[in-house]
């Protein structure tokens, strides 16, 4: 199996590329990246889907995920220890198929950075994939809260990532049969 790249600048033929985006890339988007990547791998689609994450701001570039993010992930069997924050680069739109914003402020920023209607159409809210969260747009930012909020946010992200994969998986399965 080909090694999966987590950098949208490094393209792989036929791979569907997703970037999860929050503010500083140390809380919500690393959770979403790690959870979705795990779900993709368990579904046997690791060779077809590349998942990355980034932030809209540069404040934390190069830093590890917030320790509370790492702890919440670890408590659910995920490893966030190797994550390093980075800022979303608008040039990535060309190599991405889906850009998942964790709240409406990220969605607005990302759409303002997009140069074409096609790129703007790639930006979607994570909770928009999950019927359970109908009427809600934003995954709450746990940064100024406690560990319990990180756990709550992770649960919301896990549920919504499962819903996202359920919507995408049939297309991946059909395309695999066509190869």
pLDDT tens across 80-121, in order? Answer: 999 999 999 999 999 999 999 999 999 999 999 999 999 999
Q: 33 in a domain, yes or no?
A: yes
Q: 42 in a domain, yes or no?
A: yes
Spatial contact of 26 and 56, defined as CB atoms under 8 Å apart: no
Q: 164 in a domain, yes or no?
A: yes
Q: Considering the candidates 22, 38, 68, 103, report the single residue annotated as catalytic.
A: 22
Which of 86, 100, 148 has its CA nearest to residue 128?
A: 100
pTM for the model? 0.90
pLDDT tens across 15-42, in order? Answer: 999 999 999 999 999 999 999 999 999 9
Residue 135 pLDDT class (50, 70, 90 cuts): confident
Question: 120 exposed, middle or buried (CB, 10 Å; 0-12, 13-18, 19+)?
Answer: middle
Q: What's the pLDDT at 8?
A: 46
Q: 136 in a domain, yes or no?
A: yes
In Å, how far from its chain's centre is CA 46? 15
Q: Are strands 16-22 and 98-101 parallel, antiparallel or unpaired?
A: parallel
Q: 5 in a domain, yes or no?
A: no
Instruction: Please provide the average confidence, as pLDDT, over all residues in the chain.
Output: 91
- The order of strands in the sheet holding 98-101 is 49-55, 16-22, 98-101, 123-125
| Structural domains counted in the chain | 1
Strand partners, 20: 53, 100
The CATH number given to whatever domain includes residue 120 is 3.40.50.2300
Helix (H, G, I), strand (E, B) or coil at 160: helix
Q: What's the pLDDT at 172?
A: 78
Q: 61 in a domain, yes or no?
A: yes
9: annotated active-site residue: no
Q: 36 in a domain, yes or no?
A: yes
Q: 96 in a domain, yes or no?
A: yes
28: annotated active-site residue: yes
Q: Considering the candidates 47, 138, 141, 162, report the single residue annotated as catalytic.
A: 141
Query: Domain limits at 25?
Result: 16-174
22: annotated active-site residue: yes
Residue 9 pLDDT class (50, 70, 90 cuts): very low
Q: Considering the candidates 17, 28, 68, 86, report the single residue annotated as catalytic.
A: 28
């Amino acid at each position: 199996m080909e090694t999966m790249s987590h950098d949208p600048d490094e393209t792989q033929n036929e791979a569907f590329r997703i970037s999860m985006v929050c503010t500083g890339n140390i809380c919500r988007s690393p959770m979403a990246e790690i959870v979705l990547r795990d779900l993709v791998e368990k579904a046997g689609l690791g060779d077809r889907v590349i998942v990355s994450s980034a932030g809209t701001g540069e404040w934390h570039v190069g830093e590890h995920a917030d320790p509370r993010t790492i702890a919440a992930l670890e408590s659910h069997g995920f490893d966030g220890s190797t994550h390093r924050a980075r800022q979303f680069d608008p040039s990535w739109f060309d190599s991405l198929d889906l850009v998942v914003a964790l709240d409406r402020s990220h969605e607005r920023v990302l759409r303002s950075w997009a140069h074409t209607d096609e790129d703007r159409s790639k930006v979607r809210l994570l909770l928009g994939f999950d019927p359970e969260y109908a009427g809600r747009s934003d995954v709450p930012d746990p940064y100024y809260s406690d560990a319990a909020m990180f756990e709550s946010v992770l649960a919301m992200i896990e549920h919504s990532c499962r819903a996202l994969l359920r919507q995408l998986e049939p297309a991946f399965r059909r395309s695999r049969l066509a190869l």
